[in-house]
Amino acid sequence: MPASTPAVEILQIGPYPEWDQQPLDAAFTMHRYFEADDKKGFLTAVGSNVRGIATRGELGADRALIEALPKLEVISVYGVGYDAVDLAACRECGIRVTNTPDVLTKDVADLGVAMMMVQSRGMIGAEKWVRDGSWAAKGLYPLQKRVFGKKAGVLGLGRIGFEVAKRLAGFDMDIAYSDVAAKDYAPDWTFIESPVELAQHADFLFVTLAASAQTRHIVGREVINAVGPEGMIINISRAANIDEDALLDALEQGRLGSAALDVFEGEPKLNPRFLALDNVLLQPHHASGTFETRKAMGKLVRDNLIAHFSGADLLTPVL
Protein backbone atom coordinates (compact mmCIF):
# COMPACT_ATOMS: atom_id res chain seq x y z
CA MET A 1 0.00 0.00 0.00
CA PRO A 2 1.45 3.42 -0.89
CA ALA A 3 2.26 6.00 1.77
CA SER A 4 -0.75 8.06 0.63
CA THR A 5 -3.83 6.10 1.68
CA PRO A 6 -6.80 8.47 1.32
CA ALA A 7 -9.25 5.57 1.25
CA VAL A 8 -8.38 4.76 4.88
CA GLU A 9 -10.79 6.61 7.17
CA ILE A 10 -9.43 8.15 10.38
CA LEU A 11 -11.42 9.67 13.25
CA GLN A 12 -9.68 12.83 14.45
CA ILE A 13 -10.52 13.54 18.10
CA GLY A 14 -9.04 17.04 18.45
CA PRO A 15 -7.53 19.79 16.30
CA TYR A 16 -3.92 19.81 15.12
CA PRO A 17 -1.83 22.67 13.74
CA GLU A 18 -2.28 23.30 10.04
CA TRP A 19 1.20 21.92 9.28
CA ASP A 20 -0.06 18.56 10.59
CA GLN A 21 -3.62 18.82 9.31
CA GLN A 22 -2.67 19.28 5.67
CA PRO A 23 -0.50 16.15 5.34
CA LEU A 24 -3.03 14.10 7.32
CA ASP A 25 -5.79 15.22 4.97
CA ALA A 26 -3.60 14.31 2.01
CA ALA A 27 -2.76 10.85 3.36
CA PHE A 28 -6.14 9.79 4.75
CA THR A 29 -9.84 10.54 4.79
CA MET A 30 -10.07 12.47 8.05
CA HIS A 31 -13.34 12.73 10.00
CA ARG A 32 -13.18 15.67 12.42
CA TYR A 33 -15.02 14.38 15.47
CA PHE A 34 -14.20 17.52 17.46
CA GLU A 35 -16.17 19.69 15.02
CA ALA A 36 -19.37 17.65 15.31
CA ASP A 37 -22.18 19.11 17.42
CA ASP A 38 -24.03 15.79 17.45
CA LYS A 39 -21.19 13.42 18.20
CA LYS A 40 -23.38 10.35 18.58
CA GLY A 41 -24.97 11.03 15.22
CA PHE A 42 -21.57 11.70 13.69
CA LEU A 43 -20.29 8.31 14.87
CA THR A 44 -23.41 6.63 13.51
CA ALA A 45 -22.74 8.22 10.13
CA VAL A 46 -19.02 7.51 9.77
CA GLY A 47 -18.07 5.01 12.49
CA SER A 48 -18.62 1.81 10.53
CA ASN A 49 -15.75 2.63 8.15
CA VAL A 50 -13.25 4.17 10.57
CA ARG A 51 -10.04 2.13 10.82
CA GLY A 52 -7.86 4.51 12.83
CA ILE A 53 -8.02 7.21 15.49
CA ALA A 54 -5.76 10.26 15.64
CA THR A 55 -6.01 11.78 19.11
CA ARG A 56 -4.11 13.85 21.67
CA GLY A 57 -2.75 12.66 24.98
CA GLU A 58 -5.25 14.53 27.11
CA LEU A 59 -8.21 13.55 24.89
CA GLY A 60 -7.43 9.86 24.44
CA ALA A 61 -10.16 7.41 23.46
CA ASP A 62 -12.53 5.77 25.94
CA ARG A 63 -14.20 2.38 25.76
CA ALA A 64 -17.49 3.75 24.43
CA LEU A 65 -15.72 5.42 21.52
CA ILE A 66 -13.59 2.37 20.78
CA GLU A 67 -16.60 0.05 20.81
CA ALA A 68 -18.48 2.38 18.45
CA LEU A 69 -15.87 1.75 15.74
CA PRO A 70 -16.14 -1.91 14.67
CA LYS A 71 -13.29 -1.71 12.13
CA LEU A 72 -10.88 0.18 14.37
CA GLU A 73 -7.29 -1.10 14.09
CA VAL A 74 -4.99 1.57 15.51
CA ILE A 75 -4.96 4.64 17.79
CA SER A 76 -2.16 7.15 17.25
CA VAL A 77 -1.65 9.51 20.19
CA TYR A 78 -0.16 13.00 19.81
CA GLY A 79 1.74 13.12 23.10
CA VAL A 80 3.80 10.87 25.32
CA GLY A 81 0.94 10.20 27.75
CA TYR A 82 -1.65 7.62 26.79
CA ASP A 83 -3.48 7.22 30.09
CA ALA A 84 -6.65 8.68 28.54
CA VAL A 85 -6.80 5.75 26.10
CA ASP A 86 -8.64 2.71 27.43
CA LEU A 87 -5.85 0.19 26.97
CA ALA A 88 -7.92 -2.67 28.38
CA ALA A 89 -10.53 -2.13 25.66
CA CYS A 90 -7.77 -1.95 23.07
CA ARG A 91 -6.29 -5.25 24.24
CA GLU A 92 -9.67 -6.93 24.14
CA CYS A 93 -10.28 -5.73 20.59
CA GLY A 94 -6.72 -6.24 19.30
CA ILE A 95 -6.23 -2.54 18.62
CA ARG A 96 -2.70 -1.15 18.31
CA VAL A 97 -1.75 2.05 20.16
CA THR A 98 1.16 4.43 19.53
CA ASN A 99 2.41 7.61 21.17
CA THR A 100 5.13 10.20 20.53
CA PRO A 101 7.95 9.65 23.06
CA ASP A 102 11.52 10.93 22.78
CA VAL A 103 10.74 13.80 20.39
CA LEU A 104 9.32 15.88 23.27
CA THR A 105 11.49 14.65 26.13
CA LYS A 106 14.06 17.42 26.26
CA ASP A 107 11.60 20.27 25.79
CA VAL A 108 9.52 18.96 28.70
CA ALA A 109 12.63 18.65 30.85
CA ASP A 110 13.69 22.18 29.89
CA LEU A 111 10.37 23.64 30.98
CA GLY A 112 10.37 21.71 34.24
CA VAL A 113 13.76 23.12 35.20
CA ALA A 114 12.74 26.59 34.01
CA MET A 115 9.63 26.41 36.19
CA MET A 116 11.80 25.57 39.20
CA MET A 117 14.02 28.56 38.49
CA VAL A 118 11.18 30.99 37.82
CA GLN A 119 9.31 30.03 40.97
CA SER A 120 12.29 29.78 43.27
CA ARG A 121 13.72 33.15 42.20
CA GLY A 122 10.32 34.87 42.05
CA MET A 123 10.80 35.95 38.47
CA ILE A 124 7.13 36.54 37.64
CA GLY A 125 6.75 38.89 40.58
CA ALA A 126 10.12 40.49 39.91
CA GLU A 127 9.16 41.34 36.35
CA LYS A 128 5.96 42.95 37.61
CA TRP A 129 8.04 44.80 40.24
CA VAL A 130 9.92 46.52 37.44
CA ARG A 131 6.91 47.20 35.21
CA ASP A 132 4.59 48.66 37.87
CA GLY A 133 7.20 51.07 39.21
CA SER A 134 7.78 49.26 42.49
CA TRP A 135 11.53 49.07 41.88
CA ALA A 136 11.77 52.85 41.62
CA ALA A 137 9.25 53.52 44.38
CA LYS A 138 10.04 50.76 46.88
CA GLY A 139 13.60 49.71 46.15
CA LEU A 140 15.02 46.24 45.82
CA TYR A 141 12.79 43.23 45.21
CA PRO A 142 12.33 40.91 48.24
CA LEU A 143 14.96 38.20 48.58
CA GLN A 144 14.19 34.80 47.11
CA LYS A 145 15.63 31.27 47.44
CA ARG A 146 18.65 29.82 45.70
CA VAL A 147 18.60 26.67 43.59
CA PHE A 148 22.21 25.57 43.24
CA GLY A 149 23.49 23.09 45.78
CA LYS A 150 20.02 22.15 47.00
CA LYS A 151 18.49 18.65 47.13
CA ALA A 152 16.36 17.44 44.24
CA GLY A 153 14.05 14.46 44.10
CA VAL A 154 12.88 13.02 40.76
CA LEU A 155 9.78 10.84 41.05
CA GLY A 156 10.00 8.60 38.01
CA LEU A 157 13.37 8.29 36.27
CA GLY A 158 12.09 7.49 32.80
CA ARG A 159 12.98 9.45 29.68
CA ILE A 160 11.83 12.82 30.98
CA GLY A 161 12.94 12.29 34.58
CA PHE A 162 16.42 11.32 33.38
CA GLU A 163 16.72 14.48 31.29
CA VAL A 164 15.50 16.60 34.21
CA ALA A 165 18.12 15.05 36.50
CA LYS A 166 20.87 15.65 33.92
CA ARG A 167 19.97 19.33 33.89
CA LEU A 168 19.79 19.54 37.67
CA ALA A 169 23.31 18.12 37.87
CA GLY A 170 24.47 21.35 36.24
CA PHE A 171 23.26 23.19 39.32
CA ASP A 172 25.45 21.02 41.58
CA MET A 173 22.34 19.59 43.22
CA ASP A 174 22.18 16.51 45.42
CA ILE A 175 19.98 14.31 43.21
CA ALA A 176 17.90 11.36 44.31
CA TYR A 177 15.16 9.52 42.47
CA SER A 178 12.40 6.99 43.01
CA ASP A 179 11.24 4.36 40.54
CA VAL A 180 10.20 0.71 40.50
CA ALA A 181 13.89 -0.20 40.78
CA ALA A 182 17.32 1.40 40.75
CA LYS A 183 18.54 2.35 37.28
CA ASP A 184 21.95 1.27 36.06
CA TYR A 185 22.10 4.37 33.86
CA ALA A 186 22.02 6.61 36.96
CA PRO A 187 25.05 5.52 38.99
CA ASP A 188 25.78 9.03 40.28
CA TRP A 189 22.33 9.60 41.76
CA THR A 190 20.78 8.13 44.89
CA PHE A 191 17.95 5.62 44.56
CA ILE A 192 15.23 6.02 47.21
CA GLU A 193 12.44 3.52 46.75
CA SER A 194 9.78 5.22 48.87
CA PRO A 195 8.14 8.37 47.40
CA VAL A 196 7.65 9.66 50.94
CA GLU A 197 11.34 9.25 51.78
CA LEU A 198 12.25 10.86 48.45
CA ALA A 199 10.05 13.81 49.36
CA GLN A 200 11.73 14.07 52.75
CA HIS A 201 15.06 14.30 50.92
CA ALA A 202 13.95 16.91 48.41
CA ASP A 203 13.96 20.68 48.47
CA PHE A 204 12.56 20.37 44.95
CA LEU A 205 10.40 17.37 44.07
CA PHE A 206 9.91 16.79 40.34
CA VAL A 207 6.96 14.63 39.31
CA THR A 208 7.94 13.00 36.02
CA LEU A 209 6.46 9.51 36.07
CA ALA A 210 3.94 8.10 33.60
CA ALA A 211 0.32 8.13 34.75
CA SER A 212 -1.57 4.94 35.42
CA ALA A 213 -4.16 3.57 37.82
CA GLN A 214 -1.27 2.60 40.11
CA THR A 215 0.24 6.10 40.19
CA ARG A 216 -3.01 8.02 40.67
CA HIS A 217 -2.49 10.47 43.58
CA ILE A 218 0.92 8.97 44.32
CA VAL A 219 1.77 12.48 45.44
CA GLY A 220 -0.82 12.62 48.19
CA ARG A 221 -1.00 14.25 51.59
CA GLU A 222 1.89 12.24 53.07
CA VAL A 223 4.29 13.00 50.23
CA ILE A 224 3.25 16.66 50.12
CA ASN A 225 3.76 17.07 53.85
CA ALA A 226 7.17 15.42 53.53
CA VAL A 227 8.30 18.06 51.03
CA GLY A 228 7.40 20.59 53.69
CA PRO A 229 6.93 24.35 54.13
CA GLU A 230 10.29 25.21 52.56
CA GLY A 231 10.01 22.81 49.62
CA MET A 232 8.60 22.94 46.09
CA ILE A 233 6.72 20.41 43.94
CA ILE A 234 7.08 20.66 40.17
CA ASN A 235 4.68 18.61 38.02
CA ILE A 236 5.38 18.09 34.31
CA SER A 237 3.76 14.65 34.13
CA ARG A 238 0.00 14.17 34.49
CA ALA A 239 -2.39 15.93 36.85
CA ALA A 240 -3.73 12.62 38.16
CA ASN A 241 -0.37 11.84 39.74
CA ILE A 242 -1.06 14.53 42.36
CA ASP A 243 -3.99 14.74 44.76
CA GLU A 244 -4.99 18.31 43.89
CA ASP A 245 -7.21 18.80 46.94
CA ALA A 246 -4.37 17.77 49.24
CA LEU A 247 -1.95 19.99 47.27
CA LEU A 248 -4.26 23.01 47.50
CA ASP A 249 -4.84 22.46 51.21
CA ALA A 250 -1.08 22.33 51.84
CA LEU A 251 -0.37 25.43 49.74
CA GLU A 252 -3.14 27.40 51.43
CA GLN A 253 -2.11 26.31 54.92
CA GLY A 254 1.63 26.78 54.42
CA ARG A 255 2.46 23.09 54.86
CA LEU A 256 4.00 23.17 51.38
CA GLY A 257 6.23 26.04 50.40
CA SER A 258 5.29 26.31 46.74
CA ALA A 259 4.43 24.48 43.54
CA ALA A 260 5.02 24.85 39.82
CA LEU A 261 2.43 23.09 37.68
CA ASP A 262 1.97 22.54 33.96
CA VAL A 263 -1.00 20.14 34.26
CA PHE A 264 -4.33 20.25 36.08
CA GLU A 265 -7.41 18.14 36.62
CA GLY A 266 -10.17 19.28 34.25
CA GLU A 267 -7.86 21.59 32.35
CA PRO A 268 -8.16 24.19 31.01
CA LYS A 269 -10.86 24.79 33.64
CA LEU A 270 -8.60 24.38 36.64
CA ASN A 271 -9.74 24.61 40.23
CA PRO A 272 -10.22 28.35 40.98
CA ARG A 273 -8.48 27.90 44.32
CA PHE A 274 -5.20 27.88 42.38
CA LEU A 275 -5.87 31.39 41.07
CA ALA A 276 -6.02 32.85 44.58
CA LEU A 277 -2.56 31.57 45.54
CA ASP A 278 0.69 33.47 45.14
CA ASN A 279 2.88 30.46 45.98
CA VAL A 280 2.11 28.47 42.85
CA LEU A 281 3.35 28.97 39.29
CA LEU A 282 0.64 28.07 36.76
CA GLN A 283 1.47 27.02 33.20
CA PRO A 284 -1.00 26.06 30.41
CA HIS A 285 0.15 22.46 29.72
CA HIS A 286 2.76 23.57 27.22
CA ALA A 287 5.88 21.68 28.22
CA SER A 288 6.21 20.30 24.69
CA GLY A 289 5.09 23.60 23.18
CA THR A 290 7.89 24.49 20.79
CA PHE A 291 7.55 24.66 17.02
CA GLU A 292 10.27 22.07 16.59
CA THR A 293 8.81 19.50 18.98
CA ARG A 294 5.19 19.90 17.96
CA LYS A 295 6.13 19.40 14.30
CA ALA A 296 8.08 16.27 15.21
CA MET A 297 5.15 14.97 17.27
CA GLY A 298 2.70 15.51 14.43
CA LYS A 299 4.97 13.76 11.98
CA LEU A 300 5.28 10.78 14.31
CA VAL A 301 1.49 10.53 14.68
CA ARG A 302 1.19 10.49 10.90
CA ASP A 303 4.12 8.14 10.32
CA ASN A 304 2.70 5.61 12.78
CA LEU A 305 -0.64 5.61 10.95
CA ILE A 306 1.05 5.27 7.57
CA ALA A 307 3.26 2.46 8.86
CA HIS A 308 0.29 0.53 10.20
CA PHE A 309 -1.78 0.79 7.05
CA SER A 310 1.26 0.02 4.89
CA GLY A 311 1.91 -3.20 6.78
CA ALA A 312 5.17 -1.90 8.30
CA ASP A 313 6.26 -2.04 11.94
CA LEU A 314 4.93 0.72 14.16
CA LEU A 315 7.58 3.29 15.02
CA THR A 316 6.62 3.83 18.66
CA PRO A 317 4.16 1.16 19.79
CA VAL A 318 2.46 1.18 23.18
CA LEU A 319 0.35 -1.89 22.33
Q: Identify whether 91 is a catalytic site residue.
A: no
Give, in degrees to the nearest 5, the angle at Cα 289 between 288 and 292. 90
- Alpha-carbon span 128 to 125, nearest angstrom: 5
State the Rg of the chain over Cα: 22
Using DSSP's 3-state secondary structure scheme, residue 164 falls into helix
H helix or E strand, kind and range, residue 97? strand 96-98
Q: Identify whether 255 is a catalytic site residue.
A: no
23-26-31-35 Cα dihedral, nearest 10 degrees: 50
Give the active site residue among 56, 238, 294, 302.
Answer: 238
Give the active site residue among 32, 167, 267, 273.
Answer: 267
Q: Identify whether 308 is a catalytic site residue.
A: no
Give the active site residue among 56, 159, 201, 285.
Answer: 285
- The answer to whether 286 and 111 are in contact (CB under 8 A) is yes
Residues 6+ away with beta carbon under 8 Å from 236 = 108, 109, 111, 112, 115, 160, 164, 206, 207, 208, 262, 263, 287
Catalytic residues: 238, 267, 285
